[in-house]
């Protein structure tokens, strides 16, 4: 196998690169007998990146729910009307 970070040769079954120390998770390929190193070795996702993804997902969901609420109550049309009137003045 080859390290995706430093391109060093990695012994089969290793969980870390002997050259740069990058940690890996091992994955079983989808086709029996034809597993490539890309299928076997994947750098673990950092905890910070995972938390950032969750936070962005929650923010998008909150915006969608807010937009839905504004549409259902008619408040969105009032906001649009207010800004149109403000721009005309």
Distance between CA 54 and CA 43 in Å, rounded?
A: 19
Look at residue 86 in the predicted model and tell me its pLDDT: 92
Look at residue 18 in the predicted model and tell me its pLDDT: 84
Residue with the bigger pLDDT between 86 and 30: it is 86
Cα separations (Å) of 56 from 53, 60, 66, 73, 88? 5, 6, 15, 26, 36
Cα separations (Å) of 87 from 71, 80, 84? 22, 11, 5
Q: Are residues 40 and 51 in the same domain?
A: no
Q: Are residues 1 and 40 in the same domain?
A: yes
Averaged confidence pLDDT in the chain: 79
Distance between CA 88 and CA 38 in Å, rounded?
A: 59
Look at residue 31 in the predicted model and tell me its pLDDT: 45
Of 44, 59, 77, which residue is a domain's last?
44
Number of folded domains that form the chain: 2
pLDDT tens per residue across span 11-40: 777 778 888 888 776 544 444 444 444 445
Residue with the bigger pLDDT between 77 and 14: it is 77
């Amino acid at each position: 196998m080859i390290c995706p970070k430093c391109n060093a040769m990695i012994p089969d079954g290793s969980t870390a690169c002997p050259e740069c120390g990058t940690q890996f998770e091992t994955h079983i390929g989808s086709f029996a007998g034809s597993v490539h190193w890309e299928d076997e070795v994947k750098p673990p996702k950092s905890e910070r990146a995972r938390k950032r993804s969750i936070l962005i997902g929650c923010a998008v969901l909150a915006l969608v729910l807010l937009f839905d609420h504004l549409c259902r109550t008619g408040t969105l049309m009032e906001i649009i009307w207010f800004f149109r009137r403000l721009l005309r003045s």
